Chain A
Amino acid sequence: MLNNMTNLKLSVKIAVIFILAFFLMAAQFTGAVSSAIAGETRWINVSSKISADGSMTREVKLSPDAELLKFAKAEFLGDFPDLIEEKCSDGLVKMTKKFVDLEECVGVLMVQKDLYFTDRYQIRQSLPLYPDEKVMRDIKVRFEFELPNGVIKILKDRKLQSRQLGSQTVNEFTLDHAGNMDLYYQFNNYKPITAVLLAAFLIFIAARMTRRFNFILIPVLAVLIAFFFAGIAIIVIGESPVSAMGAMYEGVFASRTNFLNMLLATTPLIFTGLAVSFAFNCGLFNIGGEGQVMIGGFAAALVGIVGLKFAINPMVHVIMAILAAGLAAGLYSLIAGVFRAKFNVHEVISTIMLNYIAYTLLGFLVVHPWFKENGPNPQTPEIAHSAFLPAFFARHDFNYGFILALVMAVFMWFILYKTSFGFNIRSVGLNAKAAEYSGINISKTIMLTMFISGMLAGLAGSERVMGLFHKYNSTAFVGYGIDGIAVSLLVNNNPLGIILSALLFGFLKTGGSYMNREIGVPVELVVVVQAVIIFFIAADKIVRNMLNVKESR
């Protein structure tokens, strides 16, 4: 009897959460909420017809608002004198211009035939920074492209960048002859989000009946609940939460490029997450991921540069560079390991100190004539091509380092749970006194574990150098080590779970920066959304409490 009452209360709570989520979406559908908060939206319609001879005729339609006209002329028509301006029957103003040369750069608009594929058009439209963000907030642009073969592509609801310090942002995409824009999903398409929510709800109902899937369910629900709370924050500042969340989703799934960007962001986090997790299983806190990543990256860069002088077989070169990175970072971490094993210096302190040492030491080395490239930047020369980590696709940096990361995750899981060595490591981590009693050499175990942990972080550095930057510079490697700690803690230091956790962080990072670039969600809010999600997943007790799910023993 008691159980039934609990289930009823529970189901009501869940239903309330989902209904509220649906209302949020519905509000966006009607535009009621965001208009109510943000004010009246002003529209600009930009139609571009591309002809077979390479010219483009662009037509801009908008309401006769002086401010808007000035803006549109500058941004979409290049402010040229040979504009044709006329009034339409519906009271709107229409401005037309013909751009003769596809290569013609009108400052902010460029249409090029794709360099590699002749039947693709690379279109670059940038939306610049304006000082008065209030003006810009309620302007929406609708782009329409007509290709020579008659195919039409429409981009709705492009918002202007309201806040980003420094640079312009660029909306860049390619259209093939069928009007396909890579893997483009219609922006603000509710279907995927709705599908996900419904699926989660159904899984939830099923799980409540079988009580089996709590361990996956709780994080999924945590994400949804987090989205809900983040959504509130987003409404408050006048953005549409569904647009913003949709943007985050789009920033990862809308195109192959975006998706690969996410995987690229995930790869180093798998390595640094593993580094933290491996050490944790021995009861050690390796906070030195920052420095170890750098040391590893630098070592890989050095081996890579050697290849500029001597010709080395690519496979050999890659393996050598990876080994060098792992070895260097492992030895660097071993320093802290020795201090802990022999002198009982807590590794939290020693590894943090070693981070500073690595950062400044490498910062110095990288401007030293021996290692510095010929140029103004504090970085090494680009490494030899034979040391590049092979990429999966042309024109994207996503590389086989990802595979190595997955392999390492499985390998670490295997070591910890299927070998006697891992048994000993976990034994020391759980109860060092009992481990000592059972004959394990604590000292040796600690040192070996710190070495392996550092080695893993070093591999992150090598992937960055060999797969992405192709050189070492002192500032681009900051943050991976610290994020690795969060990645690992989120899944309780389980090596396999780290793959999922790193994917989540990659998703948040990539989606977040897209949210910022494309939709104009301020960077600070992006960070808030990321933090809320991580918070709810980490504090799964809160989620369990909310849902009255008891922790399984």
Chain B
Amino acid sequence: MNALSMKGITKRFKNVVANDDITFAVAKNTIHGLVGENGAGKSTLMNILYGLLEPDEGEIFVNEKIAGFKGPKDAIEAGIGMVHQHFMLAGPLTVTENIILGSEPEGGLFLNYKKAREMVAELSDRYGLIVDPDARIESIPVGLAQRVEILKTLYRGAKIIILDEPTAVLTPQEVRELLKIMDNLRKNGVTIIFISHKLKEIKRITDEITVIRHGKTIGTEPTSKVTENDIARMMVGRDVVFNVEKGKARILGQGLTLDGIVAKNDKGLTCLKHVSLEVKRGEIFGIAGVEGNGQSELLEVISGLRKPVSGNVMVCDRTNPDTGEKDITGMTPDEIYESGVAHVPEDRHKRGLQLNFNIEENLVTSLIHKKPFSSFGMICSDALANNAAEKIKEYDIRCGSSRVKAQNLSGGNQQKVVIARELSKQPRVIIIAQPTRGVDIGAIEFIHQKIIELRDSGVAVLLISAELSEIMNLSDRIGVIYEGEILETMDAADATEEKLGLLMAGIKKGVNANA
């Protein structure tokens, strides 16, 4: 019997067909993987399943019964629960309070906290999701917060749980824990739909997968019958190279040096504690670490968006790089760009792009006042158009025209615009953060290649990513950041997932685990 089956689901937004006749079935007590690139239509499909959208055509069957969801409430009553990629939890409230929020147990006028606690404890035991019912959300780690999200769905009687990109924010150990939990849930009669584009995990845990591409179902296969390459090919439509070819690094000399950087974050807490590192020209230095350990602030310090409390940032001279370093600590962002540093920011929507500007304009932000883009203060639109045409070709940016607004591009193409712009500054040093977040597999390949090219052309590359495989694949040397400190630096050849995973969780060599 199928726990869930979707037949002929079609959804149109104006003239874009987000879901085109999607048909697949999920068997009971299985973990079903839903795989597809960004923009393939996975989110739309899940929003339809959860009752947030109504399909234009098609039907949904839950436990072989037809379902017409008018809203999430109907979906929840039918036993469907959803754990979103970005958690919907209230920080100051406790685990228990978050779980029962909106569906408090009957108790008259006052909250029957005792009863709630009991119910949460019982669920926790039954499904093996260990949490401290009285802990406040803001003080527990991300992996535990995710368990709370899952408990929320179980509390409301979910028999079918949708997990949307659950591993994006977890350390390798936490990922392993999650996979164990999913296995446990399956044993206890829960059906899981696992949305991810991380093929390794898909292979590891799912029973069956459905691949979606451009809004259409490409196929449903038992996991055991397909390889990662097969899945990637179904997702993209062609063969995909996973590991980028790279030769040995050719070190040219000093590039970027950080010396004892101490900085405070927006809350006034010290977030960088004497960070020192060196990135030579011609190498890629990757910083691994779970988000929120000071990476953002580190990037801001280097690029001039945040003044450090103490310490120095030095870069090689732009015109004569071998003649020693220039102190750029505390300079403004435009001065730092002039000094030969480029920056691909971690949040391209917030920092990297003006979404309401078109591609031509986004390719020249921070360069607009220079020739040939403007002369005597007036913008030369021809220069902008020519530049855009060039970059669109070089970076294979898929767009209708160079006048398309940035917000209408897919994530991968947006990222390409940012990279195209930063590289056009001909930097000596480049800091790249989360280059492939929200980017589809085809574009990931391209971006990785470009980063290697940069390194081979003698640029010092500082790479920060939450994607461990990316760090390990691209870097020549790796440092792990934890709570504002670089715990250890090593050659990429010596790094293993185990080693890095432990460091990312703060466990140094010779110190006992503290979890």
Contacts and interface: CB of A to CB of B under 8 A. Distances in A.
Contacts of B268: none
Interface stretch (A94-102, A107-115, A417-425): A417-425
Interface string A430-445: 1101111111110000
B490 interface: no
B365 interface: yes
B366 A423 contact: no
B355 A423 contact: no
Contact of B305 (A423, A424, A426, A437): A437
B140 to A, nearest CB: 29
A20 B328 CA distance: 72
Contacts of B343: 437
A430 B356 contact: yes
A427 interface: yes
A418 B379 contact: yes
A423 B350 contact: no
A427 B367 CA distance: 13
B334 interface: yes
A222 B212 CA distance: 45
Interface in B343-357: 343, 345, 350-357
A431 B379 CA distance: 20
Contacts of A438: 333, 365-366
A420 B374 contact: yes
Interface centre among A424, A434, A553 (most CB of B within 10 A): A434
B350 to A, nearest CB: 5
A423 B333 contact: no
Contact of B333 (A419, A421, A439, A550): A439
Contacts of B14: 550, 553
A419 B368 CA distance: 9
Contacts, number: 63
A385 to B, nearest CB: 38
Given A427-B354, A430-B357, A437-B333, A419 B366 contact: no
B1 to A, nearest CB: 39
B386 interface: no
B369 interface: yes
Nearest to A427: B354
Nearest to B333: A439
Contacts of A434: 350-354, 365
Greatest chain B CB density within 10 A among A426, A431, A435, A439 is at A439
Nearest to A429: B356
Nearest to A437: B351
A418 B378 contact: yes
Given A418-B378, A419-B377, A423-B379, A439 B366 contact: yes
Nearest to B356: A430
Contacts of B356: 430-431
Interface in A137-165: none
A544 to B, nearest CB: 15
Nearest to A415: B377
A437 B378 contact: no
A431 B355 contact: yes
A550 to B, nearest CB: 8
Nearest to B348: A434
B365 A436 contact: no
Interface residues of B, number: 27
A550 B13 CA distance: 13
Contact of B361 (A423, A441, A553): A423
B329 interface: no
Contact of A419 (B332, B353, B378): B378
Interface in A426-478: 426-427, 430-431, 433-441
Contact of A431 (B305, B354, B368): B354
Nearest to B343: A437
Looking at B350, B373, B379, which has the most chain A CB atoms within 10 Å of its CB? B379
B303 interface: yes
A218 B377 CA distance: 36
Nearest to B408: A553
Contact of B354 (A430, A439, A441): A430
A427 B365 contact: yes
B399 to A, nearest CB: 15
B350 A420 contact: no
B303 to A, nearest CB: 7
Contacts of B334: 439-441
B414 to A, nearest CB: 12
Contacts of B379: 418-420, 423
A290 to B, nearest CB: 30
Interface in A397-422: 418-421
B337 interface: yes
A540 to B, nearest CB: 19
Contacts of B333: 436-439
Interface in A16-31: none
Contacts of A418: 378-379
Nearest to B381: A418
Contacts of B369: 420
A420 B355 contact: no
Contacts of B373: 420
Contacts of A423: 361, 368, 379
B305 A436 contact: yes
B361 A439 contact: no
Interface string B301-338: 00101000000000000000000000000001110010
A441 B337 CA distance: 13
Contacts of A424: 368
Contacts of A426: 357
A441 B332 contact: yes
Nearest to B304: A439
Contact of B374 (A419, A433, A435): A419
B332 A439 contact: yes
**Residue of A420, A421, A433 contacting most chain B CB atoms (<10 Å):** A420
A433 B352 CA distance: 9
B377 A421 contact: yes
A137 to B, nearest CB: 54
Nearest to B345: A437
Contacts of A420: 368-369, 373-374, 377-379
Contact of B357 (A419, A427, A436, A440): A427
Nearest to A422: B379
Contact of B351 (A430, A433, A550): A433
A435 B334 CA distance: 11
A437 B349 CA distance: 12
Contacts of A436: 305, 333
A436 B332 CA distance: 9
B306 to A, nearest CB: 11
- Pick from A424, A430, A438 the residue with the most CB of B within 10 Å: A438
A553 B400 CA distance: 14
Interface string B360-396: 0100011011000110011100000000000000000
A494 to B, nearest CB: 14
Interface string A77-118: 000000000000000000000000000000000000000000
B168 to A, nearest CB: 23
A1 to B, nearest CB: 16
A418 B377 CA distance: 9
A418 B333 CA distance: 24
A240 to B, nearest CB: 45
B334 to A, nearest CB: 3
Interface in B182-215: none
Given A420-B379, A423-B361, A439-B337, 18 more contacts: A418-B379, A419-B374, A420-B377, A420-B378, A424-B368, A426-B357, A427-B357, A431-B354, A431-B356, A433-B350, A433-B351, A434-B351, A434-B353, A437-B345, A437-B351, A437-B352, A439-B332, A440-B366
The 5 A-B residue pairs with the shortest CB-CB distance in the complex, in nearest-first order: A439-B334, A438-B366, A438-B365, A437-B351, A420-B374
7 contacts: A419-B374, A420-B377, A420-B379, A423-B379, A431-B356, A433-B350, A553-B14
Interface of B: 14, 303, 305, 332-334, 337, 343, 345, 350-357, 361, 365-366, 368-369, 373-374, 377-379
